Amino acid sequence: MIDPMSFKSEILYTIILLVIIFSLHYLNKSAIRRFGRSSSIDMNSRKVIFYLNNLLFSILAIVGISLIWGVNLEDFSVFLSSVLALISSTF
């Protein structure tokens, strides 16, 4: 059985990273909303900006967590290319 205390620093760093990512995401989202209203950007353009914002912070979180937990980049790239191949074949 795996002892969770042996991963104490990784768990702590992951929690800190997620708190930072979520707070930056919230601040960025509110800034986009305020700027969109003041600049009269239509709702469809704001939705695209929100989508790209979500995508950016999701990628940052995945990369940060994989760096914290020491994922082998070669294995991660194989996994990522397999997932992208499955997604592209469905579209």
Indicate the SS3 state at residue 19.
helix
pTM: 0.75
pLDDT digits (tens, 9 = 90+) for 28-80: 999 998 988 888 888 888 889 999 999 899 989 988 998 898 888 888 888 88
User: The tokens of 62 are what?
Assistant: 């995945």
* Chain-centre distance for alpha carbon 48: 16
Q: Which CA distances in Å does 12 have to 5, 22, 80?
A: 11, 15, 26
